[in-house]
Structure 1
Amino acid sequence: MNSLRILSILALGAGLGLGGYLVIERTAGPLDALTGTAVAADRAALYYRDPSGAPAWSAGPKRDSEGRDYLPVYEENSTVEPPKAKPQRADVSRKILYYRNPMGLPDTSPAPKKDSMGMDYIPVYEGDETDDGSVRLSPGKIQRTGVKSEAVERRTVRVAVKAPGTIQLDERRVSVIAMRAESFVQKVADVTTGTRVKSGQPLMEIYSSAIASAAAEYLATINSKIVGGVEMYGRGSRQRLTNLDVPEPVIAAMEKSKVAPVTVQWSAPRDGIVLERAAVEGMRANPGDVLFRIADISMVWALVDVAERDLGNIAVAQPVTIRARSFPGRTFSGTIAVIYPQVNRETRTARVRIELANPDSALLPDMYIDAEIGTADSAPVVAVPESSVLDTGSRQSVLVDKGEGRYEPRQVKLGRRGGGYIEVREGLFEGDAVVTSANFLIDAESNLKAALKSFGEAPSAPSDSTKAGMGDHK
């Protein structure tokens, strides 16, 4: 039971930490008053205390910063009490205004006193209280809490808008081969879906009575002996072949050979990948039937969905970095080409089109990608590190380092965030110093000070003499 009480007291003392001193009212084992060494080494120590009497304890043997061993404290039957922590000495060179509660409660005293747990009230000196709401910390406290400040500078705030998306084909680089007249597929080249083809590469041979008739008419016109026949009639016959989508190389070969071909060879209109092959040898193709679909993927689109709140930060021609989930560590560069003028009702996002060069055809249609749009403004702005801002949701503030241990809370209006910095639109100027570390501790001290001040300004209860005087008027 006694051991449990001691451990509880130790845990409470460790939890109080900087708030005050812990006094342990119990009897320890016999100790040598000068050296602190144990007289009875055959007993187990309950804990070990600091040899200087400071409020520090350890569950096992250890040494202080000067290399001295912590002193053991033994069981109940000892008669020597461990030395208590020395009370904090007041600074006699400064005037004490009042004493405040060590636990931060709104309770002050004009004279030294202890709270219900035996901890001394903390003195508040003249000069520590200011009317501008600033907080003054001693150099020792600044060092212990790790307070750091940084000068406010103008810098470029880089805001990265991230959005997911997919790779899609460039609509301007897709070609289809479809018949404009009733035709029959005589032969199909060794080309399948997914095959890469070059412009002019043969795909199939077609027989069409409409094409054969137009070719015969054109050859008859250009072979005619009529003066001016080609100019007057040949132009219309050739246009008929063009309207039937006969490839230009076929028409040129016909003009050179003066012979109408039985079948017409169709070739690829561009470099690309065969996305669809519907042509089968011997099949009948009606007007409008698509037999091949070929796409050039040397340039592709990245369609990403940008959140509605980020639309004000993006614009056409901004650079974009694309990362494909299929290629970790590799990036692709592009620019914003179009911001679609519509917001999705369900997702509250707008679609953005980014044009990407794809020379090695690594990016394929419907591939998932992640886009990062750089929205850095070229004009530098007043900015502070993110760690310096105290944000309560309804109020944003920073702590300005006024020098000589004084810190002033100041409310600010924030702007864009990015790259670990936040734009400050109002409240700070270039050259001001703001606290970047341990600022929440100073803020807590400031809130405590405000609470104590409001508590001190509260109307006091009437004294006994006042009550007596009031009673005389009844």
Structure 2
Amino acid sequence: MKRIALTGLALAVLAAAGAGYWAGHRGLPAAGPRGGLGSEGSLAANEPAGTGPVIYYQDPDRKPVYAAEPRQTGDGRPFRAVRASEDISFEEKPPGEERTAQAGKGRILYYRNPMGLPDISPVPKKDSMGMDYLPVHEGEGSDDGVVKLSPGRIQRSGVRSEPVTSRAIAQSIRVPGTVQLDERRVSVVSLRADAFVQEVAPITTGDRVSKGTRLARIYSPEISTAGAQFITELNAAARGGPEGGARQRLENLGVPPEVIAEIERSRKVPLSINWSAPRDGIVLERNVSDGMKMAAGDSLFRLADISMIWVLADVPERELAAVRIGAPATVRLRGRPGTAFEGRVSVIYPQIAEATRTAKVRIELANRDGMLLPNMYADVEIGSGDASPELAVPDSAVIDTGTRRLVILDRGEGRFEPRDVKLGRRGDGMVAVSEGLSEGDRVVVSANFLIDAESNLKAALNGFAQPEAKP
């Protein structure tokens, strides 16, 4: 019986030793006096104790579970308190180097708000969320404007930089527009003398006509009188008499040349005259009917040649400087989304609409298949034309405060410097820089606002910390 008891005791000792061995070599928690974790809830009993204030609490098994306040696991084990010296980082440092670095930084000047608020304290304290204020040591408050970040912080913040390059910026302006007739291709058919309309051709609004097409047949006493005088002068000239000005009078009354030629050939004045279309086009208006009396100057028809058409685009005042005569333009009809027309800017109207603060820009287009109709809505994209290469950075690199425009210059080795710049044209996600940068400089294009906030906070805290100079 005694032998059995001794054997059981030996087995228990061996089991306890084995458990301690595997706990030390596999990172498992060493057993405390009651078989649980050590007093600090850490994974290794011989782990050096941390220093500084408690930053957060971590799962006792080193799982990625954290808490701002003390808490316990589901089986009742307390979370491990992580102090300032034990805070994890992406930087690879030998044990003890963190404390050595802290010790070599010099005396603490003050403590700043951990959330970046302009609040400092001469003594350690916590903010409303329980986070410890961060110490600022001597030598960290230089006035050179350079912000220094550790590699771990750069990686966590997602800071990314790109070189400044020289490139041609293709700028485009997208504005609405409307289709309008070419004013130079609109004709009004009217009479220069009182007349009666005997018959109107079967032509209505919207019909297409060709030059010389008969529009109406009219009778005008004034034209008939001038025709009779023209015949008299022709007969007199045949007998050797002087030639008068009747032909010129017929031309002044707008009588078509073919009618004058017929009078000269037949030596007869027609009772009525066929009035024809002066050009190819479509009938925009018909203002005449059979039997009407038309006074001199009244409009019978209004015609328009739509082989060439205008598109008037409304360009905002702030973008007008980027538009040039001859710049390429693409017009897309809202009624035909898949159809595009290519043209060029021909005129920039010298007037700003007071209500909309826009200027009209005229684009001339060939009316392919007659698809462009007056008063259609269109979407217009105006290019900047041929642009010479210039220094440019991505739009995301520029921080615009309203009064300043700056970029964050990457000087390498975790050093960043705010730099004021002057900007030029924009396009394709790029912006030209006329002053402040040189080709090859690297600028931050991602998370730059975080570095700018750090720089502004640093300057503000330096102002708080430095005593006023006494005369």
TM over 0.5: yes
TM-score, normalisation: structure 1: 0.73
Query: Which residue of 329, 333, 341 maps to 1:324?
Result: 333
Aligned to 1:18: none
Write out aligned runs for 1:367-386 (5 A): 367-376=376-385, 378-386=387-395
Contact 1:399 1:409 in 2 (8 A): yes
1:177 aligns with 2:222: no
Query: Which residue of 429, 432, 436 maps to 1:423?
Result: 432
Aligned to 2:98: 91
Contact 1:98 1:123 in 2 (8 A): no
Contact 2:181 2:306 in 1 (8 A): yes
Looking at structure 2, the residues matched to 176 and 79 of structure 1 have their Cα atoms a distance apart, in angstroms, of 98
Looking at structure 1, the residues matched to 295 and 120 of structure 2 have their Cα atoms a distance apart, in angstroms, of 96
Contact 2:85 2:99 in 1 (8 A): no
For residues 74-115 of structure 1, give each alpha carbon's deviation from its aligned partner in whole angstroms, at most 9, with x where no partner exists: 3xxx753122335444625532335644344644679xx663
Instruction: Give the count of matched residue pairs.
Output: 400
**Structure 1: segments with no counterpart, 5+ residues:** 1-29, 37-47, 58-70, 461-474
User: CA shift at 1:135, angstroms?
Assistant: 1.2
**Structure 2: segments with no counterpart, 5+ residues:** 1-33, 43-57, 87-96
Question: Which letter maps to 1:324?
Answer: L
For residues 328-364 of structure 1, give each alpha carbon's deviation from its aligned partner in whole angstroms, at most 9, with x where no partner exists: 2433333333333333444443333332322422222
Contact 2:230 2:247 in 1 (8 A): yes
Query: Which residue of 298, 301, 326 maps to 1:289?
Result: 298
Looking at structure 2, the residues matched to 304 and 215 of structure 1 have their Cα atoms a distance apart, in angstroms, of 50
Looking at structure 2, the residues matched to 31 and 266 of structure 1 have their Cα atoms a distance apart, in angstroms, of 118
Write out aligned runs for 1:189-208 (5 A): 189-208=201-220
Cα RMSD between the aligned structures?
A: 3.5
Question: Which letter maps to 2:283?
Answer: V
Looking at structure 2, the residues matched to 317 and 432 of structure 1 have their Cα atoms a distance apart, in angstroms, of 35
- Relative to structure 1, the CA distance from residue 83 to residue 251 in structure 2 (aligned partners, 3 Å threshold; closer, same or farther) is same
Question: Which letter maps to 1:91?
Answer: E
Query: Which residue of 448, 452, 469 maps to 2:457?
Result: 448
Write out aligned runs for 1:23-102 (5 A): 49=59, 51-52=61-62, 54=64, 56=66, 73-74=73-74, 79-85=76-82, 87-89=84-86, 91-92=98-99, 94=101, 95-97=104-106, 100-101=111-112, 102=114
Aligned to 1:247: 256
Indicate the SS of the match to 1:320.
strand
Aligned to 1:233: 243
User: CA shift at 1:324, angstroms?
Assistant: 3.1
Contact 2:418 2:452 in 1 (8 A): yes
Aligned to 1:307: 316
Aligned to 2:28: none
Indicate the SS of the match to 1:73.
coil
1:115 aligns with 2:126: yes
Looking at structure 1, the residues matched to 115 and 348 of structure 2 have their Cα atoms a distance apart, in angstroms, of 58
Contact 2:215 2:274 in 1 (8 A): yes
Aligned to 1:340: 349
Aligned to 1:6: none
Aligned to 1:143: 155
1:152 aligns with 2:144: no
Question: Which letter maps to 1:189?
Answer: A
Aligned to 1:214: 226
Aligned to 1:469: none
Indicate the SS of the match to 2:337.
coil
Contact 1:305 1:349 in 2 (8 A): yes
Contact 2:390 2:432 in 1 (8 A): yes
Question: In terms of mean alpha carbon deviation, does 422-431 or 346-355 score higher?
Answer: 346-355
Contact 1:134 1:409 in 2 (8 A): yes
User: CA shift at 1:127, angstroms?
Assistant: 7.5
Contact 2:107 2:138 in 1 (8 A): no
Aligned to 1:398: 407
Indicate the SS of the match to 2:309.
strand
Question: Which letter maps to 1:188?
Answer: V
TM-score, normalisation: structure 2: 0.74
Query: Which residue of 386, 395, 398 maps to 1:389?
Result: 398
Looking at structure 2, the residues matched to 228 and 358 of structure 1 have their Cα atoms a distance apart, in angstroms, of 55
Question: Which letter maps to 1:332?
Answer: F
Aligned to 2:17: none
User: CA shift at 1:190, angstroms?
Assistant: 1.2
Contact 1:53 1:83 in 2 (8 A): no
Contact 2:60 2:78 in 1 (8 A): no
Contact 1:272 1:295 in 2 (8 A): yes
Contact 1:155 1:383 in 2 (8 A): yes
Looking at structure 1, the residues matched to 294 and 132 of structure 2 have their Cα atoms a distance apart, in angstroms, of 100
